[in-house]
Amino acid sequence: MPYILAIESSCDETAASVCRDGVIISNVIYSQEVHKQYGGVVPELASRAHLQAIVPVVDEALEKANVLLCEIDAFAFTQSPGLIGALLVGAEFAKSLSLACDKPLIAVHHMQAHVMANLIQKPGEKSNKPAFPFLCLTVSGGHTQIVLCEGILKMKVIGQTLDDAAGEAFDKSAKILGLPYPGGPLIDKYAKDGNPVKYKFPEPKIDGLNFSFSGLKTAILYFVRDEKLKNENFVAENINDICASIQSRIISILLNKLKKAADETGIKNICIAGGVSANSGLRSSFEEMGVKEDWKTYIPPFEYCTDNAAMIAITGYYKYLAGIFEDLSVVPFARAPF
């Protein structure tokens, strides 16, 4: 009955979670507000905010789980990828706990954890986990990947973005429209009342299972600039249709490649994960495609899509079962393969 305490601090969320025997029993997320005024995450401020938040966030996760620190069997933390100063805070905190409690330390890859969010079980809920092998479209602020998952922790990236990530495509488009950071959820909100075929944005022709979003961003930039020359209120007057059209193109780029991956591998268990999988349009289009293609589709609950420590805890739990531990010399990395 191992208890795992997990810490996530790779970007602008300070998060902690406790899992007992693979079931998440607490999940606390503090989203740093300080970055809003700068239009993006400021690494130095993120590190400072993690330092301030980490003790209360971990305390709250233990309290909500009704577990004492001395009952924890292992401490998991996000090792990579992420902002190095932000990762260092979570890594050093987990190392200190591991040393003080004399319990093992587990390092977790953030992108692997996003995929593993599909294996999370909540107390009292029937488990509905994807069977292996499965494909996972992981779409976040820094990454866009199609991952082939052949077993627990046995993952291979078979397609990825060559430039911007899907989350960046949302956030940068939002910035062009004058919306605050992070723009993804706002585009989602405005798109709900818009016409997705009103404006046509290009779909890039990229070989294989890779993605590209930089051309789309440039097309949106020029489109908005030209329309504003004709009508300076163009964005305000058409915000719903513009957002719906941008969102629809990002979704079609993602799902067309996912379908290609499913066709090429013959795999029909398909998951999505990462912050952009919180997008309501992507969730519904993915499920529609699943029905059409006869896939079994899986989407993590909303709170496990954007950055959270429950996904670190579940990955930590499987690493605990496999006996994969680190010593106190372990360090985080800004970038690292699986």
Q: Cβ closer to ligand KG4: 307 or 326?
A: 307
Which stretches does DSSP call E strand in 110-235? 134-139, 144-151, 154-160
Give 32-35's long-range contacts (Cβ < 8 A, gap of 24+).
35/181
Contact of 121 with 318, CB cutoff 8 Å: no
DSSP H or E segment with residue 244: helix 234-265
- Of 90, 130, 274, 290, which one interacts with ligand KG4 (CB under 6 A)? 274
Q: Is 171 in the site for Zn ion (CB under 5 A)?
A: no
Query: Which residues, 6+ apart, have CB-to-CB distance to 103 below 8 Å?
Result: 72, 73, 74, 75, 97
Q: Is 140 in the site for ligand KG4 (CB under 6 A)?
A: yes
Question: Rounded to whole angstroms, what are the CA distances from 174 to 31, 185, 252?
Answer: 20, 10, 18
Site for ligand KG4 in 164-203 (CB under 6 A): 167, 170-171, 182, 184-185, 188
Query: Which residues, 6+ apart, have CB-to-CB distance to 100 below 8 Å?
Result: none
Question: What 3-state class would DSSP assign to 196?
Answer: coil
Q: Cβ closer to ligand KG4: 16 or 74?
A: 16
Q: Is 307 in the site for Zn ion (CB under 5 A)?
A: yes
Q: How far is the CB of 69 from ligand KG4 (least distance, A)?
A: 27
Q: Cβ closer to Zn ion: 91 or 244?
A: 91
Residue 184: contacted member of Zn ion, ligand KG4, none (CB under 5 to 8 Å, by partner type): ligand KG4
Binding piece for ligand KG4, criterion CB under 6 A, among 61-69, 135-143, 293-301, 329-337: 135-143
Question: Which tokens hold the place of 178?
Answer: 């004058």
Binding piece for ligand KG4, criterion CB under 6 A, among 72-80, 89-97, 139-147, 234-242: 139-147
Alpha carbon distance 153, 109 (integer Å) = 10
Phi, psi of 6 (to 5 degrees): -120, 145
Q: Cβ closer to ligand KG4: 82 or 104?
A: 82
Q: How far is the CB of 32 from ligand KG4 (least distance, A)?
A: 12
Contact of 36 with 334, CB cutoff 8 Å: no
The site that binds ligand KG4 (CB under 6 A) totals a number of residues, namely: 18
Site for Zn ion in 131-160 (CB under 5 A): 140
Q: Cβ closer to ligand KG4: 275 or 332?
A: 275
Cα dihedral 29, 296, 124, 301, rounded to 10, equals 20
Contact of 6 with 317, CB cutoff 8 Å: no
Q: How far is the CB of 280 from ligand KG4 (least distance, A)?
A: 6
Q: Cβ closer to ligand KG4: 4 or 278?
A: 278
Binding piece for ligand KG4, criterion CB under 6 A, among 43-51, 53-61, 137-145, 209-217: 137-145
Q: How far is the CB of 43 from ligand KG4 (least distance, A)?
A: 14
Alpha carbon distance 16, 96 (integer Å) = 15
Q: Is 297 in the site for ligand KG4 (CB under 6 A)?
A: no
Q: Is 285 in the site for Zn ion (CB under 5 A)?
A: no
DSSP 145: E
Chain positions contacting ligand KG4, by CB under 6 A: 11, 140-142, 167, 170-171, 182, 184-185, 188, 274-276, 278-279, 306-307
Chain positions contacting Zn ion, by CB under 5 A: 140, 307
